[in-house]
Amino acid sequence: MMGTGKSTVADMLARELGYRLIDVDAAVEKEEGCTIPELFTDKGETYFRDAESRMLSSVLEKKSQVIATGGGVVLRSDNCEVMSKNGWVVALTADPAVIVERVSGCDNRPLLAGNAEERIQTIMEERKDAYRFAHYTVDTTQLSAAEVTRLILVHYRV
């Protein structure tokens, strides 16, 4: 889910583990030559989700890396399956009000057009079951990125 700290925590995990960091959204933007909001506007969400799925499959072929995905990657069960089979998946969650606070002022969130709090509630409701495949889930509402990273490392190293 957006605003839960995925990118920040992924960066910290990669540094801590000495792994390569792959941000799927950034890789899609590089491949497509435009931003995610531009992709949504110019080619639509389905096109973006197709590009996201292709990129995810491509990056999962390598080892010793931390992969940060967009929150909507779980909308396709094939993505969930390939992530589960090829890695250790962590889902980050947070209270909707905290997410609104964290993403307020961001112009690069195409799914938040309109009432952000209402949209976040709707998105969370639509996706709540999709994250169940994750090996570990952390509620980041009251935790710093460093605390979330430590929790993940403790569980990953077990």
Can you give 136-155 as a three-state secondary structure string? EEEECCCCCHHHHHHHHHHH
Q: Kind of pairing, strands 90-93 and 136-139? A: parallel
Query: What stretches of 91-144 show up as alpha helix (H) in DSSP?
Result: 96-103, 116-127
Instruction: Using alpha carbons, select from 104, 24, 31 the residue that is nearest to residue 66.
Output: 24
Ordered by where they begin, the domains of the chain are 6-156 (3.40.50.300)
Question: Can you give the pLDDT at residue 107?
Answer: 59
Tens place of pLDDT for every residue, the chain, 158 residues? 778 999 999 999 999 999 999 999 999 999 999 999 899 999 999 999 999 999 999 999 999 999 999 888 999 999 999 999 999 999 999 998 898 888 876 655 555 566 777 888 888 888 888 889 999 999 999 999 999 999 999 999 64
Provide the whole-model pTM: 0.85
Question: Can you give the pLDDT at residue 104?
Answer: 75
Q: What sign for the dihedral angle of Cα 149, 129, 100, 41?
A: positive
Question: Can you give the pLDDT at residue 112?
Answer: 59
> By the 8 A CB rule, do 134 and 90 touch?
yes
Question: Can you give the pLDDT at residue 62?
Answer: 92
Q: Which residues pair with 22 in a beta bridge?
A: 67
Distance, in Å, from the CA atom of 20 to the CA atom of 44, rounded to the nearest integer, reads 30
Q: Which residues pair with 138 in a beta bridge?
A: 92
Question: Can you give the pLDDT at residue 119?
Answer: 82
Distance, in Å, from the CA atom of 133 to the CA atom of 145, rounded to the nearest integer, reads 22
